Amino acid sequence: MIARLTPIALALALSACAIGPDYSRPAAPLPASYEATPQATAATAVDARWWALFKDATLDELVDQALINNADLRQAIARVEQAAALAREAGAAFLPEIDGSAGISNSKASTKTSTFVAAQPILRRNRSAALTTSFELDVWGRVRRTNEAVQASLLASEYSRDAIRLTVAGLVTDSYLAVRAYDAQLQISGETLQSREESLKLVKNRISAGLTAESELYQAEATLAAARAQIADLRRWRALNEHQLALLVGNPALQVPAGDLRQLPLPPLPPAGLPSDLIEARPDIRQAEQLLVAANAGIGVAKGGYFPKFTLTGSVGSESKLLSDLFTGGAGTWSLGLGALMPILDFGRTAARVDQAKAVNQQSLIAWQNSLQTAYKEVRDALVSLREDGESEAAQQARADNAGKALALIKLRYQAGHVGYLELLDAQRSANDAQLALISARQARLSAAVDLFKALGGGWKAAPAS
């Protein structure tokens, strides 16, 4: 018995090793930190629910709904469930599979063949029941490398789900900001429309008094029609963004009540000297690394083809002629065996598979490095946009203030008859354009903050107190 078990014990002892390279994380090809952030003050921490910083209950509700109902996210969750099932299947390869079998057979032998022996019965019956198993001994670690690759793929699926969750939250927030921007622009356009209706009344009164030419009436009516067209266009764009928001949230009948972008606060800025390794926590970066881990394990799986496979087989059961004797004494059977399958000549098939695995690993490495560099660029872009959009909003605010003051003065001068109607129209147009541009600048600044949250994987942590 000891002699029979020696090969098995030797195989189990050898199974401590695993063919192929162990994964070692490559160095991240990034600078140590980002440039100083725009107007950074206190190092306020930002958690995963970064959209709550806008302090808007409607936005919070919409994002929460999207994280439950969004179709892309639900598909990602289903892919995680599929990957988890594959991982359980791969893990089961470490344990033997036990199968049960049972059979009843009746056969009649021919008396006309040369193999017929008169002493043997012509009619033969056989009843059998057995438990069988076949188990590959993981001598070279091929099964472990396969399981390592599958586990890494499972983690990659989970990180892919998290990346989609982050993207969905960002898209919902951006779409919501667009809807609120159109609300603010509609409010401004409504005020412009009211102002031009008042101007039209003033022009009619001046024409009735003989103080101005009738051409000013046509000009006033034209500018009033332009204001109405502008409002119709803004209503259309608001509706289209609301429909996009409904698709993201998974609620086709969604209707967002009117609001105002100007009521939303500016979120906090990141601390100065933000470390670049923050982006390594981004789910898409982690996904790329897990795909690299899986590809690295694939090299070991491919190299396993160079070595023999040891398979342990066994069975235990009973056989008899009669069903009533199947489980009686003397009917028992058993077998135990150890088989080996050694590749001798495959004309380069295994070598080709190893080269393929190495090429896949190299592609995964490049993809991971590129994802890091892309993420670093996105953070830098967002920081620049935050800084420049902040300055742009300040300039647009000054423009809007001065245009409003100029319009008020020109209205008084027009009523006094010191300027023509064309000058009043130009002042109205400038004031309207300045107000709309101010709203666009605020939207761009808020969207840049959203881009920064997404680029950093959801936010940042406060620096520890010194």
pLDDT tens digits, residue range 193-228? 988 888 888 878 878 877 777 787 888 888 889 899
**Range 321-329 average pLDDT:** 70
Confidence category of residue 41, pLDDT binned at 50, 70, 90: very low
Q: Is pLDDT above 70 for 9? A: no
| Distance, CA of 395 to CA of 336 (rounded, Å) | 86
**Range 19-29 average pLDDT:** 84
Which amino acid belongs to residue 10? L
Confidence category of residue 296, pLDDT binned at 50, 70, 90: very high
Predicted confidence (pLDDT) per residue in 438-451, tens digit: 999 999 999 999 99
- Whole-number pLDDT of residue 369: 92
- Whole-number pLDDT of residue 13: 42
Give the chain's mean pLDDT.
83
| Distance, CA of 64 to CA of 60 (rounded, Å) | 6
Q: What residue ranges in 25-181 does DSSP mark as E strands?
A: 97-108, 123-137
- Whole-number pLDDT of residue 117: 61
Task: Spell out the domain ranges in the chain.
Answer: 34-94+139-306+356-455
Output the six-digit token pair for 60. Answer: 């919070």
Residue 23 contacts residue 297 (beta carbons within 8 Å)? yes
- Whole-number pLDDT of residue 204: 85
Classify domain 34-94+139-306+356-455 by CATH number: 1.20.1600.10
**Range 30-58 average pLDDT:** 71
Which amino acid belongs to residue 108? K
**Range 104-132 average pLDDT:** 71
Name the residue with higher pLDDT: 464 or 331: 331
Q: Is pLDDT above 50 for 2? A: no
- Angle of CA points 42, 48, 51, to nearest 5°: 80
> The pTM is what?
0.81
Predicted confidence (pLDDT) per residue in 268-282, tens digit: 777 766 777 778 888
The phi, psi pair for 212, rounded to 5°, reads: -150, 165
Beginning with the edge strand found earlier in the chain, give each strand of the sheet holding 97-108 in spatial order. 97-108, 123-137, 309-320, 332-341
| Distance, CA of 223 to CA of 98 (rounded, Å) | 85
Output the six-digit token pair for 397. Answer: 């605010």
Predicted confidence (pLDDT) per residue in 311-320, tens digit: 888 887 787 7
